[in-house]
Every structure is written in C-alpha cells, then in structure tokens.
C-alpha cells in the first residue's frame, strides 16, 4: 500500500502527529515503516496536501501536528476511490479507504460500493450456477467457500450503502 494514501486517509479521520499515525496504521495491520511514513509526510507537505503546525509538547520538545488541506482532501477522494475499486473488501486498506472516503464525503463513493457489490453478485451467480451443475471434490469445496465469502461481502456492502444513503 502507498504510504501517502495511508497518511491522508488517517488524517481524514483526525489530525495527528506522525508517531501517532504510525501507531494507528500499524494497529490496523497496514505495513507502513517509520521511514516510509516520514518520507510520505514530507512529500505530502511539500505538495500542499498536508498542513503542518509545530507544537511544543509537555516535555518542551517540538513536534508536528498534521492535518489535511483542501487539496489533500481532493487527492484523498481520488485515492480512496481507486483503493475501493481494487482492494479486497475484507482488507484493512479497503476499510481505511471507506472510513476516509465517508469522513470527507468523497464524491462517487456510493457508486464504487455499488460497482463492487454488483461484481460480487455476478461472481456469486456464476459460482452458484457451476455448483448446481454438479461441481464435485476439492474444487467444489473451494467454490462453496468463495460463495460464502461473496455472500458475506454482498451483505456487508449492502449495509454500507444503507448507511451512506
């Protein structure tokens, strides 16, 4: 996953300090190293997607507080939609993109969720057709498992669409 997207998405949920972002992203199971995070923050600041405010901590040390700019919100909206189109529905990147896209009211969010749900429904229909035709053995077991996952994904996406609607 792109560290820049992860930083923008996390900041859409709440302004934060870089070390807090690293903890948050690690807690989500997203593989972002400290060096990648700091390189991403520097690039995002340079490109005008993140505003930095210097604060003095309780112990007197200086630290950066990061928040999205208007350009950062626009960049995040595009990146969130790309991520929602390509990442597995049950993955942490999809969850982060959905939360961030919802937080900034990304235009096109519900359309992408509908597209993903329709694609899952088409795949489920094809699997069920094959299973009814008599697939057997290990292949049938794998297809049954995939069908169960698709049913769960479709139900979850329907819930997300109800919340967004």
What pTM, to 2 d.p., does this model score?
A: 0.83
pLDDT digits (tens, 9 = 90+) for 134-150: 877 888 889 999 999 99
In the three-class reduction of DSSP (H, G, I as helix; E, B as strand; rest coil), residue 56 is classed as strand
Which stretches of the chain are assigned E, i.e. beta strand?
Answer: 50-56, 62-68
pLDDT digits (tens, 9 = 90+) for 24-56: 888 888 878 889 999 999 999 999 999 999 988
Please report, for the chain, how many H helices and E strands are present, in that order.
7, 2
Assess contact for 70 and 63: CB atoms under 8 A: no
Rounded mean pLDDT of the chain?
Answer: 91
């Amino acid at each position: 996953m792109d560290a820049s997207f992860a930083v923008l998405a996390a900041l859409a949920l709440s302004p934060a300090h870089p070390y807090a972002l690293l903890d948050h992203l690690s807690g989500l199971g997203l593989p972002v190293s400290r060096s990648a995070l700091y390189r991403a923050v520097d690039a995002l600041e340079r490109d005008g997607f993140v505003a930095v405010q210097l604060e003095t901590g309780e112990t007197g040390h200086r630290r950066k507080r990061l928040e999205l700019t208007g350009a950062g919100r626009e960049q995040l909206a595009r990146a969130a939609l790309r991520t929602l189109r390509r990442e597995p529905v049950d993955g942490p990147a999809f969850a982060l993109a959905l939360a961030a896209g919802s937080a900034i009211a990304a235009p096109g969010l519900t359309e992408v969720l509908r597209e993903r749900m329709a694609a899952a429904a088409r795949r489920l229909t094809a699997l069920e057709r094959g299973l009814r035709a008599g697939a057997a053995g290990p292949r049938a077991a794998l297809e049954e498992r995939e069908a169960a996952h698709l049913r769960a994904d479709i139900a979850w996406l329907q819930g997300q669409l109800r919340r967004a609607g």
